[in-house]
Copies of this chain bind each other. A is one copy, B any other.
Amino acid sequence: MRKGAETRERILEIAEASVLAKGFGATSIEEVIAEAGITKSGFFYHFKDKNELARALMLRYVEENDRIFDDVFHRGRQLSDDPLQSFLITLKLLAELMGDLPNGHPGCLIATFTYQERLFDRTVRDIASDAVRSWNGRFRDALNEIAAVYPARKGMDLDDVAIMFSCVVDGGIIMSRGLGDPRVLERQILAFRSVVKMLFAPAASDIMLPSAPTAIAAE
């Protein structure tokens, strides 16, 4: 009972690392069970086939990411009452989180799965797309809160800006790997942060209007 959950977790951990390094199709069950120190029968006791492994991996990844976002948005709100400042803090925390990973970001499961979508059934894809939608929603909500206080510069749709964060992260992971420089991801998140700052900075045309509330934290 208890031990079963442990083994299951170990399988998932090993499988995730392999999937992120070689792709799902190239991840062999035999390899996973060898590393986990169990037999094939043991594996199929926990997952009835490879697709169920995929679903479990995706669920685990989504829940983990949800927790991270919960935490980092919460801390952002704790450190400032101003929506812009707290969002900037959140972004900085996210950048630090990514930068502190010793070997770079291990990879985004969503990205690997969307690039191998023909391998999975609908349920797996639905979990992924629902998660992406919810994460984008968090960022859009944060941007909307800011826009209620600070007038945004024209020319950019806030929905697109929200999605841009996800793009920058997924793209940043790919670039970090492709260029062999783990710091690219952190820098890209900080670049996105600068975009948010620019977006809500008073434009030239606004110079004579009463200035917005002064910044508290986040340099």
By a beta-carbon cutoff of 8 Å, the part of chain A in contact with chain B is 20-27, 107, 110-112, 114-119, 128-129, 132-133, 153, 155-157, 160-161, 163-164, 166-172, 174-175, 177-180, 184, 187-188, 190-192, 194-195, 197-199, 201-204, 206-207
Q: A23-B23, A23-B25, A207-B204 are in contact. Are A170 and B164 (CB under 8 A)?
A: no
List chain B residues, Cβ under 8 A from A110.
174, 178
The reply to whether B171 and A167 form a contact with Cβ atoms under 8 Å apart is yes
Complex CA gap A117/B171 in Å reads: 16
The reply to whether A191 and B115 form a contact with Cβ atoms under 8 Å apart is no
Known: A26-B119, A155-B194, A166-B175. 19 other contacts (CB 8 A): A20-B115, A23-B115, A25-B25, A25-B26, A110-B174, A114-B178, A115-B177, A155-B197, A155-B198, A157-B187, A163-B187, A164-B188, A167-B188, A169-B171, A170-B170, A170-B171, A171-B172, A204-B207, A207-B207
Contact of A156 among B22, B177, B194 (CB under 8 A): B194
The contact sample of 11 A-B pairs, CB cut-off 8 A, is A20-B115, A24-B25, A107-B115, A112-B115, A114-B177, A115-B174, A128-B178, A155-B194, A164-B188, A171-B172, A204-B206
